[in-house]
Structure 1
Amino acid sequence: MDQSPEADAPETAPADAAPSGKKRGDGGERKHLPVWQESILLLGIALVLAVVIKTFFVQAFYIPSPSMEPGLIRNDRILVQKVSYWFGGDPSRGDVVVFEDPGGWLTGEEPKPTGLASLLSKIGLYPTGGHLVKRVIGIEGDVIECCDEEGRILVNGEPVDESTYIADRKTCAGAGTGFGCSWSVGPVPDGKLFVLGDNRGASADSRAHMCQPDSEEDCTQSPWVDTDLVVGKVFSLVWPRDRWDWISNPGVFDDVPDGPPADD
């Protein structure tokens, strides 16, 4: 029986068919980077994220002195929230803040990280120094006085009970202040802060930069911290592990009345 020519013709594949063993069209296998290239890429992304976080959100610091005892002790590691005072927000009385040296406030040599620690500190993955940690006591318009019969600071005439967080005091003066238990300062100018350490007997804070009562009128000392120098608010103690804790405003200044707007 004769067969038609079509019966003997070899089968042909469409012109756009994929070769045997390979997938067609967009569903083909993707080419993967070698492991070492992927590792470098992931490391680069991690470093960029670390820099962004340090710059805009959170930064780690360490406590270099006993000035904030008993809550924060030497070599504690803390985290600072940088967004706390964005969008017009300002530090409040009672906040624990980290700020840049206003000029001549840092005393002594602080240990500097070396090697890998130095690199990590630049991108926010290792706690850094070169800053100060204090508690905000006075804001714009406030007048601060020391002290009432119970040894309490007065802000705008209102005594403040700080017994829950300050160290037991053997003296009203701080490190190198030369002041006793009777002084007054203010009103705090616009855009400035008056700060104290929680360990009032061992803290070179705003008191150390007040003009002495018997000083000449051209005294150039200034107890104020510019709000522009504030890095952010301390919100967590993260190391040592057994001391981990949240740090928040104690609320003891809530009854303090606002002072009048200060003259620039």
Structure 2
Amino acid sequence: MAAIHPTALVDPKAQLDSSVSVGPYAVIGPHVRIGAGTTVGAHCVIEGHTTIGQDNRIFQFASVGAQPQDKKYAGEPTRLEIGDGNTIREFVTINTGTVQDEGLTRIGHDCWIMAYVHIAHDCRLGDHIILANAVQLAGHVHLGDWVFLGGLTGVHQFGRVGAHAMTAFQTRLAQDVPPFVTAGGNPAEAQSINAEGLKRRGFSPERITLIKQMYRLLYRQGLTLHAARQQIDALRGEVAEADADIALMQDFLTSATRGIVR
């Protein structure tokens, strides 16, 4: 049997692994599934069609799987999926999806989500993401792997932040942030690449140098986006291990619909 505190209210239809721990006064609804090794803190509410993987730590007072804050929502059985090894701190709110999108909010693996963060309906978060205190994600926001958003960052609905990108404290994002870029300000402006983060993840000096070249083409040469993309594409083959980084940048820029931060 799962270690469920006697004051917790766990619906008999909920599916909890026998190694799950549930703290005092927590409430878990009938359509919730929780994997092995996950701990649920005191006073948490986990509801909706929510699936939570293994070895997650959900701290006290979090609200996970609540209905989307969308007036069009009409009670459809939309979902929330959370992967493995995530930390979800106090007063975090994560909503299920809407049928206007794919009906799914998803969080990947090994994410660190600090206190008072809001993750709205239909957001898609990759792996190894850090969201500092009070980050606010509007609906349909997509974050790539290894993104780090500084405290009080706000992201406009349908906004996207590419893999390995970073924002400074109190950044307001109304446009997309390309991969590897550090942005800051209100409104946000591109400032540099996330070089320190790339070093910590084992990127070679040659690979980082090529990423800096892509950044200069996008932001420092006065080129149009189309011209910058052409010159970025011409970098292929210069550093073999960086060709995947070029492809990642090109794919992101091709699909950008809100424009990129400048």
Same fold (TM > 0.5): no
Task: Report which of the two has the higher share of strand.
Answer: 2
Structure of larger gyration radius: 1
Structure scoring higher RCO (CA < 8 A, sep ≥ 6) equals: 1
